[in-house]
Amino acid sequence: MESKKILVTGGAGYIGSHTVVQLHEAGYTPIILDDFSNSDRKVIQGIGRIIGTEVKWYECDCRDREYLEKIFILEKNIEGVIHFAASKAVGESVADPLKYYDNNLGSLITLMKVMDKSKVNKMVFSSSCTVYGQATNLPVTEESPILPAESPYGFTKQVSEEIIKDVAKSNPNFRAISLRYFNPVGAHPTSHIGELPNGVPSNLVPFITQTAAGIRDEVTVFGNDYSTPDGFCIRDYIHVVDLGNAHVKALEFLKKAKENYQVINCGTGKGNSVMEVIKAFEEVTNQQLKYRVGPRRPGDVEAIYADTSKANKLLQWETQLTLEQALEDAWDWQKKIS
C-alpha cells in the first residue's frame, strides 16, 4: 500500500504549519521535523486544534545527520519530504552570511544525503521569487533570468535550486519541485496558527497588524517615487493557506512526473502596491492605520508578480483566497496573540 507519510522540515514555522494542516486534510500523515530556532512549540498545539488530532513531531536540526537517519529508520516508509527548514531574514543574512550558508545549504545537503541513503525520492523545496531580483518583464515566468542575488539569503535559494537540479540529473528515480513563493501573507482562518515574527517585523503585513494592535507606532512606507501607477512598490501577496495547498498539489504531481525536476512559481498572478495593501487593510478592519511615507528601502525591487500558468497547468492549482481575506485573517491572528 502507498505510504502517505510526509516529512515536513520546518513544519512548525509559518508556511510549514499551514501546509501540515493542508496535508492532513488531503489524507496525508505529516510528520514535523523542526529545531524551533524560529518557531514556538505551541504551534504544534495550534495545528492539533485545527485538525483534531496530535501531529507527530521531532525536535531535530536538519544538519544533524545521525538523528535524521534515525528518524528515517524509525518512520520506515516516508513517501516524500517538504523542505521548509531554513533561516529567512534577508537583513540578518547580510550581517551574518555564514549562518545562512551553514544552515540553509548545510540543512539541504544533509537532508538530501539521508534521503538518498533511505531511498526517499520525492522532495518539494521552498524557493523564493527573490531568485529573480528586479525582473525586467512582468509577470515573471519560470524562464525569466536569475539575476545576481541581492543578499546571502537569496544566494542560498539560487544555489539550493542548482544543488537539487544536479542531484535530480544524477538519479533517474529522484523527483523534485522547487516552489518559488511570492509574498506569503495571512493566517489560518481559525486563528489557531499564523505568522510569529521574531522581534521587529521586516515584512509589510505583520508590521501593519502590529501597528494596528498598538505594538508599533506607525508603518513607514518605503518610497513613493517608483515608476509604478501609484508610485509604490508592487508585490504578489499570496494567502498562506493557498500556498500550503500548492505543496499538496506538488506532491500529487511528483507521483506521476516524467521529468525529474521542475521550478514552479507560487503566486496569485496579481500585483498590489503597498498603498493598496494599506487601504485594503483599513477597509477590511474598518479602522485607520497610522503610516507615513519614508525613503526607499535599499535592496527593494520596484515591482514583481508571478506568471502562474505553469502552476495552473502542471499542478492543477490556483489561488482561491483574496488579499482582503488574507488581511482579515492576519488581523484576527494578531488580535489573538497580542
- Does 14 help bind ligand WQD (rule: CB under 6 A)? no
- Does 297 help bind ligand WQD (rule: CB under 6 A)? yes
- Cα first-last separation, the chain: 46
Residue whose CB is less far from ligand WQD, 106 or 197? 197
Q: Shortest approach of ligand NAD to residue 255 CB, angstroms?
A: 23
**Bridge partner list, 125:** 83, 178
Binding-residue pattern over the window 232 to 251 for ligand WQD, x denoting contact by CB under 6 A: -x-x----------------
Neighbours of 28 (CB within 10 A): 20
CA-CA distance, 193 to 11, in Å (whole number)? 12
Q: Applying CB under 6 A, which residues contact ligand NAD?
A: 9-10, 12-16, 34-39, 61-63, 84-88, 103, 107, 126, 128, 181, 184
Q: Shortest approach of ligand WQD to residue 187 CB, angstroms?
A: 15
CA-CA distance, 44 to 41, in Å (whole number)? 6
246: Cβ contacts below 8 Å, ≥ 6 apart: 179, 266, 311, 315, 317
Residue whose CB is less far from ligand WQD, 25 or 218? 218
Is residue 8 classed as helix, strand or coil in its secondary structure? Answer: strand
Radius of gyration for the chain, computed over Cα atoms and rounded to the nearest angstrom: 19
Candidates 57-65, 96-104, 159-167, 216-224; binding stretch for ligand WQD (CB under 6 A)? 216-224
For 263, left (φ over 0), alpha (ψ -120 to 50), or beta?
A: beta
- Does 130 help bind ligand WQD (rule: CB under 6 A)? yes
Here the cell at position 244 is 500550503
Residue whose CB is less far from ligand NAD, 39 or 211? 39
* # of chain residues touching ligand WQD (CB under 6 A): 18
153 classed as catalytic: yes
Residue whose CB is less far from ligand WQD, 237 or 261? 237
Instruction: Point out the catalytic residue in the list 14, 100, 153, 237.
Output: 153
CA 93 to chain CA mean position, Å: 17
Q: At what angle do helices 106-118 and 65-75 cross, to 10 degrees?
A: 40
Active site residues: 153
Contact residues for ligand WQD, defined by CB under 6 A: 88, 90, 128, 130, 183, 202-204, 207, 219-222, 233, 235, 274, 297, 300
